[in-house]
Chains A and B, each alone.
Chain A
Amino acid sequence: AQKVTQAQTEISVVEKEDVTLDCVYETRDTTYYLFWYKQPPSGELVFLIRRNSFDEQNEISGRYSWNFQKSTSSFNFTITASQVVDSAVYFCALSEVGRDDKIIFGKGTRLHILP
């Protein structure tokens, strides 16, 4: 069965600190996609990244970086030099390729960036 676990329910850091959000997933398939979404207080889901299971290269996009490690089934997300605007709920998610493509979400990590 597919499952995504985000063990950190809530994190608070002071602005400009770095913060890492953890994500561990379970799947029986060898081909799958992993995602991170941001949900600000407005409620809309904002897509951040998609990574397929064959690409373990880490990715950096501005202040955001992602560390994908198949050996530990983890897909962690780091925000460098956090800003107040980064305050939101962040969801890690998984989808198996070739079926209905439904996305399985974790429960989310609520991130507070304190000024």
Chain B
Amino acid sequence: DTGVSQDPRHKITKRGQNVTFRCDPISEHNRLYWYRQTLGQGPEFLTYFQNEAQLEKSRLLSDRFSAERPKGSFSTLEIQRTEQGDSAMYLCASSFDIRAWHEQYFGPGTRLTVT
């Protein structure tokens, strides 16, 4: 399977714990996006990378959130001191910016539940 993969698919954690999610984009894709989807809402943009550079961060991304893409390949999203409001589906997408439109391919998501 050469699509976008995310790990883990599900995570249950207690409030106050730190969690880290991983996204592996399609191999030749140089752009990587993180979105968050809360219950009953559409996905909302969090941040994106062009290669290893983080170029934009949404105001939704509080200082408890940090994302990295150290070698321009996989990316990690870490949430420190989780809160119940962090419970959501975290979606990763990747694209290749050579073409006029950079088609984003979404992964299956990581569902986070904070108890």
Contact = CB atoms under 8 A, between A and B. Distances in A.
Interface of A: 4, 33, 42-45, 47, 50, 52, 91, 93, 97, 100-108
Interface of B: 31, 33, 35, 40-45, 48, 55-56, 89, 91, 95, 97, 100-106, 108-109, 111
Given A100-B48, A102-B48, A107 B41 contact: yes
Contacts of A47: 105-106
Contact of A106 (B42, B48, B55, B100): B42
A107 B108 contact: no
Contacts, number: 51
Contact of A108 (B41, B104, B105): B41
B45 A103 contact: yes
A100 B108 contact: no
8 contacts: A4-B42, A44-B108, A91-B43, A93-B42, A97-B100, A100-B56, A105-B42, A107-B41
**Would you call the interface of chain A mostly helix, strand, loop, or mixed?**
loop
B40 A33 contact: no
Contacts of A4: 42
B103 to A, nearest CB: 8
Contacts of B48: 100, 102
A104 B46 CA distance: 11
Contacts of B105: 47
Contact of A44 (B41, B104, B106): B106
A3 to B, nearest CB: 11
Contacts of B97: 101
Contacts of A91: 42-43
B101 A108 contact: no
